[in-house]
Homo-oligomer: A and B are copies of this chain.
Amino acid sequence: MALIVHKYGGTSMGSVERIRNVAKRVAKWHRAGHQMVVVPSAMSGETNRLLKLAGDIVEGSGRGASPRELDMIASTGEQVSIGLLSIALQAIGVQAVSYAGWQVPVKTDSSFTKARIESIDDARIRADLDAGKVVIVAGFQGVDADGHITTLGRGGSDTSAVAVAAALKAAECLIYTDVDGVYTTDPRIVPEAKRLEKVTFEEMLEMASLGSKVLQIRSVEFAGKYKVKTRVLSSMTDPDIDLNIEATSGTLITFEEDEAMEKAVISGIAFNRDEAKITLTQVPDRPGIAFSILGPVAAANIDVDMIIQNQSINGTTDFSFTVHRNEFAKTMDVLNGSVKDAIKAKEILGDNKIAKVSLVGIGMRSHVGIASLMFETLAKEGINIQMISTSEIKTSVVIDDKYMELAVRALHKAFGLEQAA
C-alpha cells in the first residue's frame, strides 16, 4: 500500500499490444493496493517522425525551426501516449485519467527543447489517487510561466517520472526500460558484464553522465536531490509476473552505502564517443582567462564537460575542454569568431575522434591505487591517454576513439568486474 510511480519508455509503448501490456502491469500494481502514477514516453519513432516533419518544412529555407514551435509539435507524442494508456487501463476495468504537462501543471523554465522542471503541483494528481484512479502524466513536457509548452530534451521522460515521484513523495520510482538493469559496463562490449543489484545515486550519476544510456542524467540528479528511491527494470517480462519478484528485480539506485557495497571498489565502467576535444594553445595565464574562453561558449548554450588547464610555463598555458560532438562545429565557430583574438591564443585545435572511458565507484574514495592500475592497464594495451579528469568516485580518461572497446574490455578484466554481485 504505497504510492508508486512507473515510467515506460518509447519501446515499451511502441504498439497497441505493448500499451496493453503496460496497462496489465500497472493494473497488477493497482490491484495490489498501490496508488499508481504512470509516466509514459511517446510511442517509439513518434518524436522522430514529428521532428522530421518540422525539419522538412524548413529545409532549404536557411532558417532553423523555432524551438518554441518544435516543443508545440514534439509534445504531442506523449499526449497521444497518455490518452492511449488511459483508455487501455479503462478497457481492463481500471479507473484512469491522463494529464498533459500543463494540466498538472509541471512548471519549467522557458528553455524550449531543453527546459528544466521548476515545480510540480501535486494537488490534482493526489485528488485523483485518493479517488482510486490511476493517474497518467505525460513525460518529457511542461509549461513555462507564460503558458508556453516546453519539452525537457531527449530522455526527458525519465526526469519527469522522478520529478513527479519527488513531488508526490512516492515510495519508489520504477523506470521500466528495454534492459533489465544497470551493468558493470555495456554487455555488447564485454559479454561478462554483470548486472548490479544496487548502485548509489552518486555512482549512477557518474555512469549516466558518462554515457551509460540507461537513465537520463537529469533524472538521476533529481533522484539524488530529492532522495527518490529509483529502480531500473525490464518492461520485457511477462506483465503478470509475480509482483514481489518484479519489485526486487533490476537495479536499485540507493542513498545508503551498505556493507556489501563497500566491498566493491569499482561499480562499473562507463564510456562514450559523444564528445569532441578542443585545445587552445599558449593562452596567457592571467585571472579571468577561463571565463573569457568558456563565457562565450556558455552564452551560445553549449554545455562543456571536461575542462583541463595545466600549469603555466613562461606565462602561457594550454587550455582544453570537451563538448558534445554535435556542438563541435558550433563551438569552433564561437572560438574562431571573437574569442581567439581577444585572448591571444596561438592556435585552436579540435579533435572529434575521441572517446572517454571512466571507472566509477563509491569504493574509490577509500582505496588508493585505482588510478595507477587504470593507467597501467591502458599502457599495457598500448593506448595513449590524452586527458585525465578525476572526481571522488570516478576517474576518466580521453583516448583515441578507435581504442575504446579495447580499453573497456581490458579495464573490466583488470578490476575483476565479471565477479560483481
Most buried by B among A73, A102, A147: A73
* Stretch in A51-59, A231-239, A302-310 with 4+ CB within 8 Å of B: A51-59
Residue in chain B with minimal CB distance to A70: B83
Are the CB atoms of A82 and B72 closer together than 8 Å?
Answer: yes
Are the CB atoms of A16 and B53 closer together than 8 Å?
Answer: yes
Please, how many angstroms separate the alpha-carbon atoms of A168 and B370 in the complex?
70
Indicate whether A16 sits within 8 Å of B147 (C-beta atoms), given known contacts A70-B83, A86-B66.
no
Please, how many angstroms separate the alpha-carbon atoms of A148 and B82 in the complex?
14
Residue count of chain A within 8 Å CB distance of chain B: 39
B-facing mask of A33-75, CB < 8 A → 1, else 0? 0000000000000000010011011100101011011101101
Residue in chain B with minimal CB distance to A98: B72
Please, how many angstroms separate the alpha-carbon atoms of A16 and B60 in the complex?
13
Residue in chain B with minimal CB distance to A73: B83
Decide if A91 is an interface residue (CB 8 Å cutoff): yes
Please, how many angstroms separate the alpha-carbon atoms of A90 and B63 in the complex?
8
Residues on B with beta carbons closer than 8 Å to the beta carbon of A82? 72
Count of this chain's copies in the oligomeric assembly: 2
B-facing mask of A78-99, CB < 8 A → 1, else 0? 0110111011101110000110
Most buried by B among A50, A83, A103, A147: A83
Decide if A149 is an interface residue (CB 8 Å cutoff): yes
Are the CB atoms of A147 and B73 closer together than 8 Å?
Answer: no
Are the CB atoms of B80 and A53 closer together than 8 Å?
Answer: yes
Are the CB atoms of A100 and B57 closer together than 8 Å?
Answer: no
Please, how many angstroms separate the alpha-carbon atoms of A87 and B50 in the complex?
13
- 8 A Cβ contacts from A5-41 to B: 16, 19-20
Between A and B, 8 residue pairs with Cβ closer than 8 Å are: A57-B88, A66-B87, A69-B83, A69-B87, A72-B82, A76-B76, A76-B80, A103-B149
Additional A-B contacts beyond A53-B84, A57-B88, A69-B83 (6; CB < 8 A): A57-B87, A65-B91, A66-B87, A66-B90, A72-B100, A103-B147
Measured CB to CB, the residues of A under 8 A from B are 16, 19-20, 50, 53-54, 56-58, 61, 63, 65-66, 68-70, 72-73, 75-76, 79-80, 82-84, 86-88, 90-92, 97-98, 100, 102-103, 147-149
